[in-house]
Amino acid sequence: MFGRFKKTSELEKLQKQYKKLMADWHKLSATNRGESDKKYAEAQAVMDKIEQLKQA
């Protein structure tokens, strides 16, 4: 009941963004290699941020 009002942490936001980028990357990998590579690079940048937050 009280989980509804819980704010999402920065880590949770980044994990959700990473998951979406990886899904987009997978869809694009079959059709547009250039855009696929861009999505993968974005996802890796987000993963780097996640790793930094976990270490802190």
Half-sphere exposure of 1 (CA within 13 A, CB side): 0
Name the pTM for this structure.
Answer: 0.83
| Residue whose tokens read 């996802």 | 43
What pLDDT does 47 receive? 97
Q: What type of residue is 23? A: A
What pLDDT does 5 receive? 73
Q: What is the pLDDT of residues 1-56, one digit of tens each?
A: 566 777 889 999 999 999 999 999 999 999 999 999 999 999 999 999 999 999 97
Name the residue among 48, 47, 24 with its Cα closest to residue 36: 24
